[in-house]
Amino acid sequence: MKETNNQEFEYRGFCINGFLMIFFTFILIPLLIGLCIWKGQDAENVAPFIICAIILFIIFIIGCSGYFVQEPNVARVMIFFGKYKGTCKKVGYYWVNPFLNRKKLSLRIRNMDIEPIKVNDKIGNPVLIGMVLVWRIRDTYKVVFDLDSQSLGGQNTINNMALDHFVRIQSDAALREVTGHFAYDQTDSNDPNELTLRDSGSEISDLLEKKINERLAMAGMEVVEARINYLAYAPEIAAVMLRRQQASAIITAREKIVEGAVSMVEMALSTLESKDVVKLSNDQKASMVGNLLAVLCADEPLTPTLNANV
């Protein structure tokens, strides 16, 4: 079932410029720590200053882990102790709550070459078919939370190999489904509007995109383009189908040759009669037609003879 609801939303939590936070983290806090230590040396009760220095040092350590750099078409899913807080797509150098778990995702377009698989077409012939798939992440929430947790990588990253594996399996299933609804080539029905795998490239690609999108939507991904890049009969019937295609091509060529030869004979007879070059009886016309057709349709050069009474 196709999922249409998008549960992703923009992160609206505390997120400030990273260069501004550098002043507080690496300049102001170290100065305060140094000030506490210096004051504690001159004071009779050093305990408050030492405690203050320890607290500031802990804040310094925690604050150092809140920085991140984000490039265009990259997103981070913000998770606060297991709760989804939004997806940050801002580009630049930022500082956020160090306790946020930031799952990094690439929203860039990815390319995948699906190796040829053996599938039976509509009439049961085994064919080898492969395709090229272009896809990308659409819903970061579903990618992180709806896929099996075993597919996730480290604490702040997503295992791209797991995503590729999921896309490859679903694309394989969709390709098998689509291939089973069409014949490799024109069948004996002689329907001029019949869609085939060999001739209906754009229609098959559109249907493939639709079927794959229905499967990938559950995990927050979408297909940009899907097209067949390899199509052939399986080896066990390839030789037989090749002879069939050759026979069909020969028949088609012969039909064209005969059609052209008949029109040339008709033109020759009408020209002879209109210009009164020669008068032929019906038997002579029949003999001339036979000779001309033999010359025009033969594979080898022939020498026709014509017995005409002028």
The tens digit of pLDDT for each residue in 68-79 reads 999 999 999 999
Angle between helices 201-216 and 160-179 (to 10 degrees): 130
Angle between helices 235-274 and 282-297 (to 10 degrees): 140
pLDDT at 52 over 70: yes
Q: Angle at Cα 139 formed by Cα 138 and Cα 140, nearest 5°?
A: 115
Q: What is the mean pLDDT of residues 139-147?
A: 89
| pLDDT value of residue 304 | 54
Q: What is the mean pLDDT of residues 247-257?
A: 75
Q: How far is CA 310 from CA 265, 277, 303, in A?
A: 20, 9, 21
Mean pLDDT of the chain: 81
Which of 31-35, 53-57, 169-173, 295-299 has the lowest average pLDDT?
295-299
- Measure the CA–CA gap between 61 and 141, rounded to whole angstroms: 30
